[in-house]
């Protein structure tokens, strides 16, 4: 799936949600797919080893809150 096929729910402003500068695509973000599922982008976490084919990412709590607001909840 290409990034262009996702609806970006967070990070659409001038900053990263934490008051700092952020590159176009390199910040933690939450996206919605056309089927309604959620894709998250963040730093790779080593908290534990997930099952094959899965990965762990860390994103700041305020990014999740922004995503919930964008979804109207």
Task: Look at residue 2 and tell me whether its pLDDT is greater than 80.
Answer: yes
pLDDT in tens, 10-57: 987 544 444 445 666 678 999 999 999 999 999 999 999 999 999 999
pLDDT of residue 73: 79
Q: How far, in Å, CA of 2 to CA of 27, rounded?
A: 17
pLDDT of residue 35: 94
Strands (E), 1-73: 7-8, 29-32, 38-41, 43-44, 57-58
- Mean pLDDT value of segment 60-65: 93
pLDDT of residue 54: 96
Report the residue count for the chain.
73
Q: Which is higher by pLDDT, 25 or 60?
A: 60
């Amino acid at each position: 799936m290409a990034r262009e096929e996702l609806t970006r729910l967070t990070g659409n402003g001038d900053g990263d949600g934490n008051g700092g500068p952020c590159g176009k695509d390199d910040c933690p973000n939450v996206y919605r797919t056309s089927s309604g599922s959620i894709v998250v982008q963040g730093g790779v976490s080593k908290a534990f080893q997930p099952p094959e084919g899965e990965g762990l990412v860390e994103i700041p709590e305020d990014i999740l809150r922004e995503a919930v607001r964008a979804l109207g909840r």
